[in-house]
Chains A and B, each alone.
Chain A
Amino acid sequence: MYEKDGEKYFIVDSHMHFWDASPENWVKGAENYAEGWIDCFQAYQGLGPPETHQTKEAFRKVSEDQLMKEVFEDGYVDKAIFQPTYLKEWYADGFNTTERNGALAEKHPDKFIVNTRFDPRDGDAGMKEFEDNVAKWGSKGVKLYTAEWNNGSRGYKLSDPEAYRFLARAQELGIKNIHVHKGPTIWPLDKDAFDVSDVDHAATDFPELNFIVEHVGLPRIEDFCFMATQEPNVYAGLSVVIGGLMYARPKFFAKVMGELLFWVGEDKMTFGSDYNIWEPKWQIEGFVDWDYPDDTYSDYPRVNVDTKKKILGLNAAKLYGIAVPVELQLKGEGQPAAQDDAQLVEHGANV
């Protein structure tokens, strides 16, 4: 919980990690990829306030104590949602697996939600592992990284028939939320790797599932927004938007937020720190204090305390069925809108 100027904010960090990218975990022969990946992450950390930058060693593997302190003690987070990323072609035990996250969650009851993942290219064995993980960790969400390398394959699409098989099974197993991270898929190389049209197809064909597009489809915010405005079950995951732009590029942050508030709307945007790229503390403090810098932004939707309460926690609480103490709920007409806020969608599409 974060309190400022008499207002109390319930905080759900809906996109964070507990990774091991230390050299001991690099796959032999793939060291340059393992190192390239984590160095790229650390360059993103460079976009946050200098006093939060870490040494290479500290960044690559965070201790359990440090995570608990930075996320919960200093970071105001009420509930944190682990989003796994496996990358086993580069990291021997995986970069950030369900098991590694889950083991930490077990030690700290009520602090975490353990999401799992699947990879449609893993076939029946992958399906079994997915089912076991859902049963073991009670997962209500999955994180999909479509650019993951897997046995010579350089990525997949959510609209692939095999992906549909997993999505259908996920729905049967009680999964509600599909977090999608569009990365630089490398097949086919002659197409745009960040294209989000596959999410559009899947969202249409699985209307009961929510699709939270992490990093708001960056670097294709425009394609993401055009899609999100038409699909009631598509959400904007703000990880990287707040962490990467709010401090380093405040003017662009204001514009990107303005566009998201216009096209997607405040009921469908969720905060995620992307820990350990960035700590939640400065992101939450800065976002609660944030407003458009001047009146050149006057044709974007306004933001108020309720907007920030929804984005920082109440929207994600609704997606995951997290109980919010009464004093932290919105005053007045109550809860954030449900997934098909028809008026909002129509507004975005017709303007």
Chain B
Amino acid sequence: MLTALATVRDPELDEPVTDLGFVSSCTVSDEGDVQVHLRLPTFFCAPNFAFLMVADAYDAASAVEGVRRTEVVLDDHFASDAINRGIAARSGFADSFGDLAAGELDELRADFVRKAVLAGTDRVCRPLLAEGRTTDDLALMTLGDVPPSAELERLRARRAELGLPAGDSSALLVDATTGEAVGVQALPLHLRKARLTRVNTEANGSVCRGMLSHRYSTRGEGQLEESR
């Protein structure tokens, strides 16, 4: 069950909710009834992202073989009631929040996957530059030219999620919206933006972890230690 929940990501931080410590408990009965409790770093964390995590956790848990019934509950959040009711009734986001939401969250989620592609670009390219490759070299490289790594797989997965080219022959550096290769001219700025996006995401993740550990003294299911 934890493996299934580990596929659920915080859309802003692009990290599994398990690693982040957001899963406060997860129990499965002999009959296959699952109950998951989720928690967040603050009472006022963005409700739209909270909804996505609860909905994704519901889907991930329900898909595990042998599960009869799933209940996912978000605790200690100002919008807990609306979110929990919405998930339990399996109504969409817009239905759950009535007048406060004008649409569903697909586009918002895609915006953040694009940020994850940019941040992942820095994670993959930085070691290449450290090995002595130039930005001109990077402009000519394909994904297949990059030595295998977990970060490379993660980048490919995010690109594929957006429908961007992700195969071995695809350019290493692509525009996260259009999927077109980034030219030599635009490359230095592109890499600067990639680095900044990664710094922002990881700094936020770090603050969120700090806030969570101040709020709860218990460790979450599957929570990872943070390197500071």
Q: Do A and B come from one complex?
A: yes
A-to-B contact residues, CB < 8 Å: 32-33, 36-37, 39-40, 43-44, 46-47, 154, 183-184, 186-194, 218-222, 225-226, 244-245, 248-252, 255-256, 259, 262-263, 350-351
Main secondary structure of the interface of B (DSSP, over half): helix
- Closest chain-A Cβ to B212's Cβ sits at a distance in Å of 9
Q: Are B42 and A192 in contact (CB under 8 A)?
A: no
Question: For A36, what are the chain B residues with a Cβ–Cβ distance below 8 Å?
Answer: 42-44, 78
- Per the bound structure, the CA–CA distance linking A255 and B105 in Å amounts to 31
- Per the bound structure, the CA–CA distance linking A244 and B203 in Å amounts to 10
- Closest chain-A Cβ to B63's Cβ sits at a distance in Å of 25
Q: Are B199 and A43 in contact (CB under 8 A)?
A: no
- Closest chain-A Cβ to B203's Cβ sits at a distance in Å of 4
B210 at the interface (CB under 8 A from A): yes
Q: Are A187 and B100 in contact (CB under 8 A)?
A: yes
B201-228 interface bits toward A, Cβ cutoff 8 Å, 1 = contact, 0 = none: 0111011001100110000000000001
Given A36-B78, A46-B210, A193-B48, A222–B42 Cβ distance below 8 Å? Answer: no
By size class, the interface of chain B is: 35 or more
Q: Nearest 8 A-B pairs (CB), nearest first? A: A36-B43, A46-B214, A189-B101, A221-B200, A252-B203, A43-B214, A222-B200, A219-B204
Question: For B215, what are the chain A residues with a Cβ–Cβ distance below 8 Å?
Answer: 39, 43
User: Quick check: which of B29-37, B175-183, B187-195 contacts chain A, the rest being far away?
Assistant: B187-195
B16 at the interface (CB under 8 A from A): no
Residue of B nearest to A40 (CB): B42
Q: Are A190 and B105 in contact (CB under 8 A)?
A: yes
- Per the bound structure, the CA–CA distance linking A201 and B108 in Å amounts to 21
Question: For B102, what are the chain A residues with a Cβ–Cβ distance below 8 Å?
Answer: 188, 190
Residue of B nearest to A248 (CB): B210
Give which listed residue, A46, A188, A250, A262, contacts B228 with CB less than 8 A.
A250
- Per the bound structure, the CA–CA distance linking A252 and B199 in Å amounts to 7
B168 at the interface (CB under 8 A from A): no
B111 at the interface (CB under 8 A from A): yes
B-to-A contact residues, CB < 8 Å: 12, 41-48, 78, 93-94, 97, 100-105, 107-108, 111, 115, 188-189, 192-193, 195-197, 199-200, 202-204, 206-207, 210-211, 214-215, 228
Q: Are A256 and B43 in contact (CB under 8 A)?
A: no
- Per the bound structure, the CA–CA distance linking A244 and B210 in Å amounts to 9
Residue of A nearest to B215 (CB): A43
Residue of B nearest to A152 (CB): B99
Q: Are A256 and B199 in contact (CB under 8 A)?
A: yes
- Closest chain-A Cβ to B142's Cβ sits at a distance in Å of 25
Q: Are B203 and A43 in contact (CB under 8 A)?
A: no
Q: Are B108 and A190 in contact (CB under 8 A)?
A: yes
Give which listed residue, A184, A244, A252, contacts B202 with CB less than 8 A.
A252
- Closest chain-A Cβ to B82's Cβ sits at a distance in Å of 10
Residue of B nearest to A226 (CB): B193
